Structure 1
């Protein structure tokens, strides 16, 4: 078993890098959908949602950078082209959404998909004793679960 500079198995690290790159691709698509929601929202909830979408995409940029830096820490290379993102992403793409309920539903569905990916990474990182990745996933998951609860409350669910 060959170990990395971090003391992790190199094969395990490569597997985590691949999964983290998938998460990175999904976050990039989610980020761009949030920008579109921010720009295109209309109606009585404009001011509230325009600000909220900006909060979400600003937070997503931080997470995107954190994920890319974790990939680099694990001695991998983060994806960085839109072609790569589109080919890897499974989150829905929001296009020209102006309706408040439709936009919030897109965010909930997207976060739900991100949670699925993050839980896979959480489980893998726990199995291979990668505390850095595990801790990052745990923090992201807890935050997104709360956001989903709040958005579902806004939706009346």
Structure 2
């Protein structure tokens, strides 16, 4: 068994990094969706939602960087082209969404997909004894579960 510079099995960490690259691609789509709804939102809730969407895309941008840096830490290369992002996207792509409920539903649907990917990474990282990735996924999951709950409460 080959061990990398952070003490983990290279075969297992390559698998984790591949899954992180999939998450990275999906986060980039989610990020761009958030930018789009931030720019295009209209209606009586504009001011509140415009600010909230900016908060969410700023957070997503930080997470994109963290994911890419984790891929590098595991010894692999992060995806970095729009072609790769779209090819790997499971998150729905939102286009020309300006209505409040459609925008918030896009966020809920996107986070639901991200949570599925993150839980699968959490399992695989656990098998690889990769506590760094585990910790990152646990943090992402708990934050996103709360956001889903809040968005669904808003939709009710």
Please tell me the TM-score bracket, short chain as reference.
Answer: over 0.9
Who is 1:42 aligned against? 42
Runs (4+) off by over 3 Å: none
Rounded Cα–Cα distance in structure 1 between residues aligned with 2:92 and 2:45: 22
Who is 1:79 aligned against? 79
Who is 2:64 aligned against? 64
Who is 2:15 aligned against? 15
Who is 2:142 aligned against? 142
Rounded Cα–Cα distance in structure 2 between residues aligned with 1:43 and 1:69: 38
Rounded Cα–Cα distance in structure 2 between residues aligned with 1:5 and 1:39: 43
Who is 2:90 aligned against? 90
TM-score of the superposed pair, with normalisation by structure 2: 0.99
Count the aligned residue pairs: 156
Matched, 1:115 2:115: yes
- 1:87 Cα shift? 0.5
TM-score of the superposed pair, with normalisation by structure 1: 0.98
Rounded Cα–Cα distance in structure 1 between residues aligned with 2:11 and 2:46: 48
Rounded Cα–Cα distance in structure 1 between residues aligned with 2:10 and 2:126: 15
Rounded Cα–Cα distance in structure 2 between residues aligned with 1:30 and 1:148: 14
Gaps of at least 5 residues in structure 2 are none
Rounded Cα–Cα distance in structure 1 between residues aligned with 2:99 and 2:141: 27
- 1:127 Cα shift? 1.2
Who is 1:33 aligned against? 33
Rounded Cα–Cα distance in structure 2 between residues aligned with 1:22 and 1:126: 18
Who is 2:152 aligned against? 152
Q: In angstroms, what is the RMSD of aligned CA positions?
A: 0.5
Gaps of at least 5 residues in structure 1 are none
